């Protein structure tokens, strides 16, 4: 087991990627602090998954944009388990809306959740790790942090901020042997999302530009998280792993494969 007897805190783990990461961590031997904001039932299901493979869980409600609540969550983890080895700043908020229809209140919510929430989770988690002399921190961005598209400018601004926050934090946290890295997932449908319309043009476009020709799963992202949380990544910090089926490797050039034409190679 790659995470045997480690203690991991995963924010936003009442479903989707957070649940997948907790499941993978538990299967690799870690006890998990399961955080939720409002979906207690979802958080309980995740905690039950952790316990179903023989590991311990602690279910904690906290709004990650509130410093006092993040501090209380980390304190509860330390009180229960005595240490904190892994922190995954997974919780986030999304918005898809044309720029000229957005309001400052919507941007403020994105900033407070995605940027300030990530900062608080990282800083307070790292404070707990500092005395241990080691730790693994994972932030969660998106391929939307790497480039732009319609309706997502505000969301993309916050996800891009997480990328460079992670890079800068790697320098400060390296002094304490704490590694911090970022995962940038691509299209990963989760249970709360409506199922993709496989006959629709949007699905066809994603398949066209994704070399591996499928959407991702929470398990795909969790596999990268296990690597970054384990000793296998002890000399890796300040990096971004794009778990996206390869879509970020291209520039969204229409593929000859899908239009029946033959490329010119001269």
**Pairwise CA distance, residues 47 & 59, whole Å:** 7
Q: Is 203 a catalytic residue?
A: no
List 36, 155, 203, 258, catalytic entry: 155
- Which residue is it, tokens 């609540």? 69
C-alpha gyration radius of the chain: 19
E strand or H helix at 88, and its extent?
strand 86-89
**Pairwise CA distance, residues 42 & 70, whole Å:** 19
Q: In the numeric block, which tokens belong to residue 43?
A: 């958080």
In DSSP notation, 126-164 reads: HHHHHTTT-EEEEEE--GGGTS--TT-HHHHHHHHHHHH
Q: Which residues are catalytic?
A: 155
């Amino acid at each position: 087991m790659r995470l045997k007897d480690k203690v991991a805190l995963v924010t936003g783990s009442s479903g989707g990627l957070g649940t997948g990461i907790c499941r993978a961590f538990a299967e690799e031997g870690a006890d998990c602090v399961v955080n939720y904001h409002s979906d207690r039932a979802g958080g309980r299901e995740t905690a039950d998954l952790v316990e179903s493979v023989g590991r311990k869980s602690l279910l904690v409600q906290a709004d990650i944009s509130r410093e006092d609540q993040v501090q209380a969550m980390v304190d509860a983890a330390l009180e229960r388990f005595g240490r904190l080895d892994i922190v995954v700043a997974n919780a986030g908020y999304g918005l898809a809306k044309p720029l000229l229809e957005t309001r400052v209140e919507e941007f403020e919510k994105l900033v407070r959740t995605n940027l300030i929430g990530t900062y608080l989770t990282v800083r307070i988690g790292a404070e707990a790790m500092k005395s241990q002399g080691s730790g693994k921190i994972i932030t969660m961005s998106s391929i939307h942090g790497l480039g732009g598209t319609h309706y997502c400018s505000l969301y993309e601004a916050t996800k891009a901020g997480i990328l460079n926050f992670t890079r800068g934090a790697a320098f400060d946290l390296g002094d304490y042997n704490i590694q911090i890295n970022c995962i940038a997932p691509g299209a990963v449908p989760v249970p709360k999302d409506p199922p993709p319309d496989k006959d629709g043009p949007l699905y066809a476009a994603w398949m066209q530009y994704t070399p591996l020709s499928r959407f991702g799963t929470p398990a795909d992202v969790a596999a990268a998280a296990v690597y970054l949380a384990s000793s296998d990544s002890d000399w890796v910090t300040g990096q971004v792993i794009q778990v996206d089926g390869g879509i970020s490797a291209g520039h969204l050039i229409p593929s000859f494969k899908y239009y029946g034409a033959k490329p010119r190679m001269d």
